[in-house]
Structures are given as structure tokens and as C-alpha cells.
Amino acid sequence: MATGEEKPVMVVGVDESEQSTYALEWTLDRFFAPYAPNFPFKLIIVHAKPNAVSAVGLAGPGTAEVVPYVDADLKHTAVKVIEKAKALCLSKSVHGAMIEVFEGDARNILCEVVDKHHASLLVVGSHGYGAIKRAVLGSVSDYCAHHAHCSVMIVKKPKIKV
């Protein structure tokens, strides 16, 4: 229940994938853009930058030299993601969105951010993995749907049937 003037909080998780950009754009289009300047939700965009050491964890010998390069690359990707998110918000005239970056596993970070801000809604994209890829790579949207302490909206980029 909203307490007086407080707006419910919506957290959107983004990564560098196209599906994630689509999810953010869809959300901005449907929930924010038409209601400027009085948005129905307070928007928080979160990017989880993978930890460099965990990313090369399975590489084997010689990982020590690779880590700094991987780290720099990940930082570069994170910056690009944030810039893209900011540009999207601006293009839809959505101001006042909070953008946060954390380092670590996306699943845990998204759930933590939800708890920290007492969000009422978490929005994630979905890579649309099949059952096998899902079992091997894991699915952040699956994890969040089951473990987040708020309602979860999974936005999929529609696949064009060939």
C-alpha cells in the first residue's frame, strides 16, 4: 500500500544484450513515456557487471595475466550499457531515473536492489534460452521470478517466425 505521496518503485535490470534493451524500451514506452511528467512509478535501472575473476574462472592456466584485460573489457561494456540506458531514457523524455551499477552476480544483485529500495516491481528481459541452455547457463529471469521479494515482469523480445 502506497503511503501518501510515495510512488511505487520499479527496478529494471539491464545487461548488454539486445533483449535487455528491448525490455527497457518496452517498459519506458508503456509505463513511463505517456505519463510525463507525472510517472506512476519511480524508476531504478540496475546493471550488474560480472566479476572479472568469476568470468574467467574456467579458463585454466594463465588466467592471472588475462584477468586485467577481462576486467577492463567488462568495465568498458558496463559503461556502454549505462550510456545506452541513459540515452533511451532521454529519448523517451523520462527524467529522474536512478541508474546504479554493481559488481557481482546479476541474480543476487537484482534481488538485493529490490530489497534495498522495497521495490514493488522488478523488470527483466529474457534471453529466451531453451531448456538445455537454461540448465547450463542458468537464467537470471528464472531466478528472479522465484526469489525476488516482489512481483517480477519478464519482457521477451518477440521472435519473428521464419
Partner 1 sequence: METYVDAIGVDTEATTTTETTAKQNKKKLKVMVAMDESKNSFYALEWAVEHLRDVISAEPETDQAGGLLTLVHVHPTYLQYIYPSGGTASAMYAIDSVPESMKKAREESTTKLFTRSLEICRGKLVKTETMILEGDPKEMICQAVEQTHVDLLVVGSRGLGMIKRAFLGSVSDYCAQHAKCPILIVRPPRETSTSSSTKEHKSK
Taking the least distance from each CB to partner 1, the nearer of 60 and 158 is: 158
Is 153 a residue that touches partner 1 (CB under 8 A)?
yes
Specify burial of residue 142 (Cβ count, 10 A radius: 0-12, 13-18, 19+).
middle
Is 121 a residue that touches partner 1 (CB under 8 A)?
yes
Q: How far is the CB of 37 from partner 1 (least distance, A)?
A: 7
* Per-position x/- string for 34-63, each x denoting binding to partner 1 as judged by CB under 8 A, each - no binding: xxxxx-x-----------------------
Taking the least distance from each CB to partner 1, the nearer of 20 and 31 is: 31
Q: How far is the CB of 102 from partner 1 (least distance, A)?
A: 22
Q: Among 13, 14, 31, 45, which residue interacts with partner 1 (rule: CB under 8 A)?
A: 31
Position of cell 545506452?
84
Return the half-sphere exposure (C-beta side, CA atoms, 13 A cut-off) of residue 45.
Answer: 26
3-state secondary structure of 124: strand
Pair 25, 84: CB distance under 8 Å: no
Sequence-ordered alpha helix ranges (H) in the chain: 18-27, 52-55, 63-91, 106-117, 131-137, 140-147
Cell of 127: 534471453
Site residues (CB under 8 A) for partner 1? 8, 23, 26, 29-31, 33-38, 40, 91-93, 120-121, 126, 141-142, 145-146, 148-156, 158
